[in-house]
Chains A and B, each alone.
Chain A
């Protein structure tokens, strides 16, 4: 049996690296006595694939992993048993059974949404957005492997939504990830600062979701399993 799981990572766990996140999950599976499947070979490991890698420093609302099981288990029971042993800052929210031929998360996720919480609500926010999306070129210094090379983010920015909450505002930015253009959250932050948003006003950044985008429609990895 194969399952796909959606979980959240709270602010207290924002400094964990990908390896640490994986160890956390594998050890929680053992504590919860989940009947996970093991790989063959001399050094067997749990057949767990963390489909999304949360950047160090961010928290995340909807992250995903796939897991292979040796025997059937109801998704509700999985959620229950796991949430009993996980740290408070991490919760399993959803779980569904998927078929063996479901494409892996790594292969199918091509879009992520980063959310920026701003302390005050700049009045010109709408203008800022309109202006941004009008540009042909949005250059920042790359923070990925090729450091400090000019990188044009424009094609990678899919959609921007703004949510005014009175005292503060949230900007949600949908970007492409993986190939051909991987937009990182720290490059987005640089872009915000370059285009007139005060760095001190950015209170927090988190990833609100990971998506599979097909023909301009956004599906969550739980919706798009074929």
Chain B
């Protein structure tokens, strides 16, 4: 297989190194000696998939700490797909160049709602039926995990099982179970798997609907399946596995650097934020662990940059000492430190100056909304004063461009809030031009708000495509010159919204969209909205039902059976506070807000380096 690929196939395609494997630090285990054999499948191209930390953790954990084996596979770019289909080459793994069908388990990473068509396409390229009911004993188990799996229902009929929560807590139990029960028939094996905490086997549940289309009940049909599937969490990240020798790709990938996960979770409680809800509580690593992990990764990869990753790295309690120590230790070797996201305050800018002894390119900040009122509604605890201070500090220290992230279509938004965004941008531009020797560049990226499952905004209707487009036209008309606005595509956002809060009945429409040629839907050049709408029509589905409808507190949601640890009462209370424009402080500073996570999951907030007063 490999010889043929190298000689005949890869010379025909763009970026062949995507498909060639053999990278530094790859782990290729002896196939015949391994117990369960799993392939980690990422439904996007290599350079996107290889930038994902979760996959690196699972790959190292399974291969280094168990007798099971894990290999990798990615979605081929359409040019490669065409050659593969023409030449009858099945989708293969990059370690042993084996077809995906040879594995016991395929594990897809669900990072984005619209990657589902790529998953169906990858199964098809592997000669594996898309529907779980059509897969007999001869096929691998098809599973998935990741943030989108917190509402797995739109994909329920494609997968045999979902792994809910921090993967490193479940994966080995899952593979042990697969291996130990290898003599069982698939339906019996699935019952055994359903007994593992955090594993959801969709075929073992029945859903009934009311006349108005909402859910009447959802319940397990066998005793092995729990009524609620509880998200699994790593209690202490200092004790959990993290790869010291991540694979070093030859290709320049999206995040081409060593990555240090400084903590998991974020408790700023922005009410729109899915990750902020489903990854609670904050669990930090200690400085000691982080420095050790940095040293190991740099020694094994030779990377020239190390990035401090998390949902909100500037909130890590030891961030200042960590940055200082890393810069001191590795700066003389030409190795840089980078911060992926900045908080909107002057402290952030100081720290950014510390690490950016290099060219000051674009500073990126996320105020999310244009007025104080709306920022209070969404609980983005940032004041205009903080933003102005941050921007002043940045321009004074030599930055020449600022990019600001906002959302449009937020709950309670009015024209005044859109004007607020434009005013804020004009102020930022004026400050920049005052402090900087040449005109500064101010850009704003405007995403469309998509209500997500498990958040305080899960009851809200999403703005329709027409509403979003109207807002875009309004802002483009009113904006000042030399301020650049870029908007997310409203059709893409709409479709994300439909799937984000969808249920099992969407599966056929998703399947039909794929049959009509939809794939790489996250890539604008391949996105075909009309095909999706056609698919919905053919299935008699009104997509507005899923995303443009106001829902009430009594409604049973498709994702309610997933126990994230957060009480529904807390989400309701947060939504009520939002309506009144009352913000909620971070529970680290102001005491427990009773969201329920720590109690339900038996974990604790973990602040490792004490509270730094800034």
- The interface of chain A, by Cβ under 8 A from chain B, is 11-17, 19-20, 23-24, 26-31, 38, 42-46, 56-57, 85, 87, 89, 203-204
Contacts and interface: CB of A to CB of B under 8 A. Distances in A.
A87 B334 contact: no
B20 A20 contact: no
Nearest to B3: A11
Interface in B295-351: 298-304, 333-335
B17 interface: yes
A26 B24 CA distance: 13
A89 B17 CA distance: 14
Interface in B235-270: 248, 250-252, 256
A188 to B, nearest CB: 16
A162 B17 CA distance: 32
B314 to A, nearest CB: 23
A46 B304 CA distance: 10
Contact of B359 (A23, A27, A29, A43): A43
A31 B246 CA distance: 13
Contact of B17 (A16, A44, A46): A16
A42 B16 CA distance: 34
B302 A28 contact: yes
A196 B342 CA distance: 63
A27 B302 contact: yes
Interface string B526-546: 000000000000000000000
Contacts of A203: 7
Contacts of A42: 357-359
B474 interface: no
B411 to A, nearest CB: 44
Contact of B250 (A11, A20, A85): A20
Contact of A26 (B23, B252, B302, B358): B302
B6 interface: yes
A20 B298 contact: no
Given A15-B10, A27-B248, A28-B302, A87 B17 contact: no
Given A45-B334, A46-B334, 20 more contacts: A13-B250, A14-B6, A15-B10, A15-B16, A15-B17, A15-B20, A16-B17, A20-B17, A27-B301, A30-B302, A30-B304, A30-B335, A31-B301, A31-B302, A42-B357, A42-B359, A44-B334, A57-B16, A85-B302, A87-B23
A214 to B, nearest CB: 35
Contacts of A29: 302
A87 B24 contact: yes
A27 B303 contact: yes
Contacts of A15: 10, 16-17, 20
Contacts of A31: 299-302
Contacts of A17: 17
Interface in B437-479: none
B78 interface: no
B11 interface: yes
Contacts of B11: 57
B22 interface: yes
A20 B252 contact: yes
Nearest to A25: B302
Contacts of B358: 42-43
A20 B116 CA distance: 31
Interface centre among A11, A30, A204 (most CB of B within 10 A): A30
Given A20-B252, A27-B248, A87-B24, A11 B6 contact: yes
Nearest to B331: A44
Nearest to A38: B334
B20 A23 contact: no
Contacts of B302: 26-31, 85
Contacts of A12: 6, 20, 22
A13 B7 CA distance: 13
A46 B302 CA distance: 12
A45 B202 CA distance: 52
Nearest to B333: A30
A32 to B, nearest CB: 8
28 contacts: A12-B6, A13-B22, A13-B250, A14-B6, A15-B10, A15-B20, A17-B17, A19-B252, A20-B251, A23-B256, A26-B304, A27-B301, A27-B302, A27-B304, A30-B298, A31-B299, A31-B300, A31-B301, A38-B334, A42-B357, A43-B358, A44-B334, A45-B304, A57-B11, A85-B302, A87-B23, A87-B24, A89-B22
A27 B303 CA distance: 6
Contacts of B20: 12, 15
Nearest to B335: A30
A122 B572 CA distance: 81
B165 to A, nearest CB: 34
Nearest to A30: B302
Interface in B1-27: 6-7, 10-11, 16-17, 20, 22-24
A34 to B, nearest CB: 10
Nearest to A56: B16
Nearest to A33: B299
Contacts of B252: 19-20, 23
A207 to B, nearest CB: 16
Contacts of B298: 30
B295 to A, nearest CB: 12
Contacts of B299: 31
Contacts of A46: 334
Contacts of B304: 26-27, 30, 45
B249 to A, nearest CB: 9
The 8 closest A-B CB pairs, nearest first, are A27-B302, A30-B302, A31-B302, A15-B16, A44-B334, A42-B358, A15-B17, A43-B358
A30 B248 CA distance: 13
A186 to B, nearest CB: 11
A38 B333 CA distance: 8
B450 to A, nearest CB: 36
A45 B304 CA distance: 9
Contacts of B17: 15-17, 20
Nearest to A11: B6
Nearest to B24: A87
Interface centre among B11, B248, B250 (most CB of A within 10 A): B250
A142 to B, nearest CB: 20
A87 B22 contact: yes
A104 B304 CA distance: 25
Interface in B46-70: none
A128 to B, nearest CB: 24
A28 B299 CA distance: 10
Contacts of A20: 17, 250-252
Contacts of B22: 12-13, 87, 89
A16 to B, nearest CB: 5
Nearest to B336: A43
Nearest to B19: A15
A89 B302 CA distance: 18
Nearest to A46: B334
Interface string B276-311: 000000000000000000000011111110000000
